[in-house]
Structure 1
Amino acid sequence: MNFNHFDDHGNAIMVDVSGKQETLRTATAAAEVHMSDKVLAAIQNSAIAKGDVLGVARLAGIMAAKRTPDLIPLSHPLSLHSVAVEFEQDSAAGKIEVQCTVRAFERTGVEMEAMTGAAVAALTIYDMCKGSDKSISIGDIRLLYKEGGKSGVYRREVGQ
């Protein structure tokens, strides 16, 4: 396996993308936040003491996607054109799925920005609800979709 984040001496480097073609890049990532029925109902009824949980989590996810190069050491600073954070609430499963979609016309992909946005939005849900239930858990952070660039389209299979 060829690791392109290391030079010939084993030093970590940022990959040089200056020779790559700019194309429209899109990525969608997700994270799951598992919680009690009581906490999920409180979120749905706007009854969490800290306020609008999903509104604040949406803003946190957008901000995080924009700050990815400050958090992930070898990621490139990108000019993002769109960041959207959406939530799917599943009362039967006691979870909220966070999805973050990022778009940019760039030389490198936006997968890390989408994953960072989804993860931080999920962490924000935990932060805003931890006073009600510390057993909330976050998991299954994953890339769902990407397109643009040489590698083409990737779509995660259901159940994968």
Structure 2
Amino acid sequence: MPIKTHKLRIYPNAEMKTVITELMDYNRFCWNRGLETWQDMYDASRLLDDKKLRPSERKVRDELVENKARWQRRLSARVLQTAIHRLHQAWQNFFNPNMPDAHKPKFHSKRDAKQSFTTDRAKVAGRFLQLDRPLKTTHHFTKIKMA
């Protein structure tokens, strides 16, 4: 079954713009922290010549969840999980001989023009998009108008 995607224009209010910006920043933070953890685990496994220490999606995610700061609990946990999943996919693509154009995963920059985050808990109801609301958030979540 083919995967269909749609590009939509959204019109968030000021509060939701803040939420979306925080989620994009958190996604970049999770990717960079995950990449750093992945590289540290890989270097340790090569140094000790122990394949059991090799990084995996689950090991890296568990490490990041275990060392979560208080401010991270206000944001969606799905952003961390999807960032680590995409990092895992990037490493698989890099080592896949059938994908010769795949590059080694790099750290993401705040100055990069393309900023994004991924969640699979958003809902579309008619002409509105509703993001998943974390339990400990201080923001007032509203529906986002779409076109």
**Same fold? TM cut 0.5:** no
Which structure has more strand as a fraction of its residues? Answer: 1
In the superposition, the TM-score normalised over structure 1's length comes to: 0.28
* TM-score, reference length from structure 2: 0.30
Q: Which of the two has greater helix per residue?
A: 2
